[in-house]
Structure 1
Amino acid sequence: MPLTEHDTSQLRATLQEAVVKCSERCLYQSAKWAAELLTSIPTNEDPSEPEDSQMTEVPLEGMPPIVVTGNLDPEEAQLEAKEINRYLFAKSLFDCREYDRCAAVFLPDTVLSGILSAPSKGIHNTTSPKGKGKARASAGRSSSIVQPSIPKLSQKSLFLALYAKFMSGEKKKDEDSEMVMGPHDGGAVVNKQLVVLNQLLSIFPTSPFLLTCLALLAYHTKDFVTADSHFSHLLALHPHRLDSLDHYSNILYVMNLRPKLSFLAHLCSSVDKFRPESCVVIGNYYSLLSQHEKAVQYFRRALTLDRSCLSAWTLMGHEYVELKNTHAAIESYRRAVDVNRRDYRAWYGLGQTYEVLEMHAYSLWYYKRAAGLRPWDGKMWMAVGSCLQKMGRDLEGIKALKRALLSDSYYDAGVGSSFGSGGRERGGTMDPEILLQIAGMYERLENEDEARMYMEMCVAQEEGAGDNLEASVINIHADSQSSDDESRPGVPIGGAGGDNTGTGVTAATSKARMWLAKHAMRIGDFNRAMQLATELCQDGVEVEEAKALVREVRVRLDGIGEGSP
């Protein structure tokens, strides 16, 4: 027998109360069961009228009103009243950790797929984790394209749906990571739902929180130019917001942009000089001016205001290293590790400090911790390889340095590095310093063929890696893969894309050219030796030794000419 309208209202109110009271008592499965029944009751299909709820009708006699948070905005209050039954259902699903099902209550997959396939609007230079795939609306798109409509939802319901999507992605990311310390447990697995949560920028195009997340994403993927652009845009929109500007000061420091860093320091000081972020920004500015005592003073002030300020502990350690106060540097880095044991910069700093003290066993241990936290950062593996080289463990050092070459190709080549002083753009080339180190270790192992090959590769970086080195590049990839289970198949050596811009003449390439010239002399290839020695005279790096080599080659060639019939 169908229920009367009064009975239906009474049943709905009873189920609403059951959902709230079960949720308050952490009886989440019971709350979900009651919410499923609640949403199964037929509702008024007239869109002009809200759903029946305790917020739109007079409470029945003997039935207390459901406790919900009110909203002063009349439009939002009306939307929340209309959604109350579905919201209680979605909330109960979230409590039971059924995140996809929770999100689908308000944002079904059909709606999300329509939003994702539509042209982007209002997104400023959105980048993927590797700095590629910028999502921009095409200027020439036809105006006849129908934009998918986002459901008319209250802010509370929209937030719950999007937060459920984020939590779903985090849960699946942990599942995809497989076993602890396994091949995919190095931070390489990402939250795939972040792509969905991104069209947020189209809903909230000037949200300072979302713009900050976009800038920090570029910062952590070492795309400092893009990060600088995002932070500049953020400052233009919200000039008095200091959140995360300490990260921006790190970017400007690495890029050696003193005028911008000076402006940022003055801005933070004028807004609130007693915020930890302001003190870190000013400290970085003094550090860039090589006024390390003043930099330490401001980092100390930041820590006085907030002893858990991670960046201040790490940066203060860097300043103590510059001041040759190794004991204070070690203590600062250890305090940073106490705040966050996954801060690779602090572990790397400890390795650097012990390397200054020539305690290479300790230094190696800390470098390995940093590399474990940042397995695709070439600078970490370069430090491990250099330390092994100093300890006379050349075979292990070669493997680590090859891993550094492979790791450098994971991120797009950008200005600077992930740690320490600024660097240079390398485009489609490999780091000649690393190649020179590998060649030197092969020479100590008396493997002259491998040493010569890597010296040739080092010289070739002046004009970019050519096709004639393809076999050597594959050899590096194969060696790295066999020596480390975490290596990724299919990742090319030498940076991003087909950019073949070389490094030009460097100290490393000149040393490699000198070695090759002397090697050519030893094996009697005097024409090759003359060519390399002449190039060295033009380089202007090791001119005197190159001239002496040219004279020696001429003597040898003259002797051969005189001795010929």
Structure 2
Amino acid sequence: MGGLSSADAAQLQAHLQHAVTACSERCLWQSAKWAAELLNSLPGVSDSLNQSDTEVDSPMSDGTQSTPPKLKISVDPVQTQLEAKELPRYLLAKSFFDCREFDRCAAVFLPGSLPKGAVGSNLPQPNRRSSAGKGKARMSTPIKVKSYEESLSGISHKSLFLALYAKYISGEKRKDEDSEMILGPADGGVTSNKELNGLTSILEGILSNLHANNANGGGWLEYLYGIVLAKNKNEELAKTWLIKSVHLYPYNWGAWEELCNLLGTIEQLQQVTEQLPQNIMTYIFHIYASQSLFQVTDQVHNQLTSIQSIFPSSAFLKTQRALLFYHSKDFEESESIFSELLTSYPHRIDSVDVYSNILYVMSLRPKLAFLAHTSTLTDKFRPETCIVVGNYYSLLSQHEKAVIYFRRALTLDRTFTSAWTLMGHEYVEMKNSHAAIESYRRAVESNRRDYRAWYGLGQTYEVLEMFSYALWYYQRAAGLRPYDAKMWQAVGQCFAKVGKLGNALRAYKRALIAGSFNDGSASSFGNSQGGEFGVGHLGGGVLDPETLYQVASIYERLDQKEESAAYMELVLAQEEGPQADDEDGIFAGSSVQGVGVTPTTSKARMWLARYEFARGEYQRSMELANELCQDGVEVEDAKALVRDIRARVEADAG
């Protein structure tokens, strides 16, 4: 995607301006903010707006009236007439919504409480009071729903959306109030949004009637129906309606976010992409969804570079770039982008929780303290701010205080996934396994793509020595992060503990492959899919000595000493790096360094020394044992082996 022509840029500007207004009118504040930020990242937008405000007779004018770009959006004259007729009531309802009086907002247009229909169906509910009344009960619910829908027929779609959305938000607010304390007895799946059933019945009926008359809800009612279906776990149908919504009105970013939340794999993203409209919003969505699914590829980076040529100053797109580097564990590059964003937008709170995670991993305590201070000054009651402060206390090893702030973040927003995950980490540090497991479970319920929560569940169950459970969770984490060596190491370790040595070997070798991708030496391997490899497929870049040692140990348990010895030799080779055996000069001038002498390489050297001694290769065994004596690791065992070698050599000579 190259740069836009002036006509296309003007059209895009008009669409974004309309989106800000349309979303604001329906109290979709986050979507309005997103569109406004994107609008202002278009080059020359502020200049064109100022020029359009300049009067013709002004000395600053060139004598020609600057007209705003025309917007090509179909307008329904019936809806326009209804909106004009009910404008005073709409303004009253919106003022109630802005004051967070959601029930009062809904009551302006909705005639009483919503009907309690079945979820996703207009079928009647059986009468539980008596069998004699069953016949009447079967007819009561459809008539009630139908009459309710008829009472809404004279309301514009905009006002109807606002009223039904207010009812939905009211139900969510009441659900949080009923849940009471975080991780309390009423928290989790015990409480639910009691408005969902009625909203489902009404929206289903309204949209069915519109479809029968070859009409639609302008993309807004379809969007709300998709949200309600997703909350009721009817995800496939929710996808269908959200796709309809973005076809009808593609500039509502909230619909794209909800659609992304329903995607669990890159295959699902590819299936959905085929059904989406071909426009710039789909392009942005594909980048956002790919990042959310940890697809850190050159293709995604190139797509992001292309779209940034259109919106060069977009903070949202810069954040996506930083997140891509974060997922690939390039923390320095990601931190640099977030630091630049903080300098350019010091009052922007969005995604600072991820920035604090990076500073925590890099142990940059002064920067994390500064970020916590500036975020608190901006808004101390944002979940992101609480995450930043919690991470700061965690870095200070004050885990109780960290938990307090993570709980505060969840009190503000119970769907804030990273807060659940980080609170689970803190409970692990505090040795509270039950609370850690519950926190991680809530994280994966909120976001199935949170590999850190899956990995945390695996770690916690492994500590409890419930290895079958741990293995299942580790495999879920590895499925989400197939190129993360740490995930496959954990899978291999659990397979070894449950006695499945063949599976353990495959997992450890997959970890070696994943590690090679991170080190930029993927060419060392003959296959990137992680099948069964011999030692000849390994080498080139620096590999993880501990993983190699575990592979060698498993071969020893399988009584395959030759393979085990070959991997032990590979462990030793990592001390000096790829230059050690680089006869062809492939790694000439390479910055890749060896790991040096480590406890793992010393254990491998000791194993090889004993192995060579058992084979009668006394000279090689003596060399390895003497190296151990010089390294200062395993010294006593090495000295004992030297004495045994000398005694055996003398006995053979005598």
TM-score class, shorter: 0.5 to 0.7
Q: After superposing the two structures, state which structure 1 stretch, 250-259 or 224-233, moved more.
A: 250-259
Task: Give the share of equivalent positions with the same residue, in percent.
Answer: 56
Question: Which amino acid in 2 is paired with 1:163?
Answer: M
Partner of 1:20: none
Alignment of 1:88-487 (within 5 A): 162-166=280-284, 192=299, 195-202=302-309, 204-412=311-519, 428-465=541-578
Question: In the TM superposition, what whole-angstrom CA distance separates every residue of 1:411-461 from its partner, at most 9, and x where no partner exists?
Answer: 3469xxxxxxxxxxx993111110000100110110001100111101111
Aligned pair count?
A: 383
Q: How does 1:531-546 map to 2 (within 5 A)?
A: 531-546=623-638
Relative to its length, the structure with more helix (as a share) is 2
- The C-alpha deviation readout for 1:504-550, integer Å capped at 9, x for no partner, is 11111111111001111111111111111111112222222222222
Partner of 1:557, secondary structure, is helix
Match of 1:554 in 2: 646
Distance 1:303 1:427 in 2: 47
Paired AA for residue 544 in structure 2: D
Seen in structure 2, the aligned counterparts of structure 1 residues 406 and 273 have a Cα distance that, compared at 3 Å, is same
CA separation of 1:452/1:243 partners in 2, compared to 1, >3 Å: closer, same or farther?
same
Deviation sequence 1:350-379 (CA, Å, 0-9, x none): 111110000111111111111122222211
Task: State the alpha-carbon separation in 2 of the partners of residues 395 and 434 from structure 1.
Answer: 15
- Gapped regions of structure 1 (runs ≥ 5): 1-23, 25-70, 103-159, 174-185, 415-425, 471-491
TM-score, normalising length from structure 1?
0.61
Equivalent residues of 1:428, 1:501 under 8 A apart: no
Could you tell me whether the CA contact under 8 Å between 1:245 and 1:277 is conserved in 2? yes
Structure 1 residues 434 and 230: CA distance shift in structure 2, 3 A: same
SS of 1:410's partner is helix
* SS of residue in 2 equivalent to 1:464: coil
Unaligned runs of 5+ in 2: 1-21, 23-47, 55-64, 76-217, 219-242, 251-277, 522-538
- CA offsets, 1:132-160, max 9 Å, x none? xxxxxxxxxxxxxxxxxxxxxxxxxxxx9
Alignment root-mean-square deviation, CA? 3.8
- Cα deviation for residue 81 of structure 1 reads 4.9
Which residue pairs with 2:597 in the alignment? 505
Q: Distance in 2 between matches of 1:269 and 1:301?
A: 13
Q: Distance in 2 between matches of 1:247 and 1:545?
A: 47
Shift of 1:469: 9.4
Partners of 2:52 and 2:68 within 8 A in 1: no
Please report how far the alpha carbon of residue 265 of structure 1 lies from its aligned counterpart in structure 2 after TM superposition: 2.1
Give, as a single letter, the amino acid of the residue that structure 1 aligns with 2:369: S
For 1:364, give the aligned amino acid.
L
Paired with 2:67 and 2:604, the residues of 1 have a C-alpha distance of: 71
Q: Bigger CA drift: 458-467 or 231-240?
A: 458-467
Measure how far apart 1:333 and its partner are: 0.5
> Over residues 184-223 of structure 1, what are the superposed CA-to-partner deviations in whole Å (9 max), with x where a residue is unaligned?
xx96596957635524545544432222222111101111
- Taking the aligned partners of 2:562 and 2:303, their CA distance within structure 1 comes to 52
Q: For residues 336 and 435 of structure 1, do their structure 2 counterparts lie closer, same or farther at Cα, with a shift above 3 Å needed?
A: same
Larger deviation, residues 229-238 vs 191-200? 191-200
- Letter aligned with residue 512 of structure 1: A
Aligned counterpart, 1:524: 616
Change (3 A) 1:166 1:212: closer
TM-score calculated relative to the size of structure 2: 0.53
Distance 1:448 1:80, change over 3 A: farther
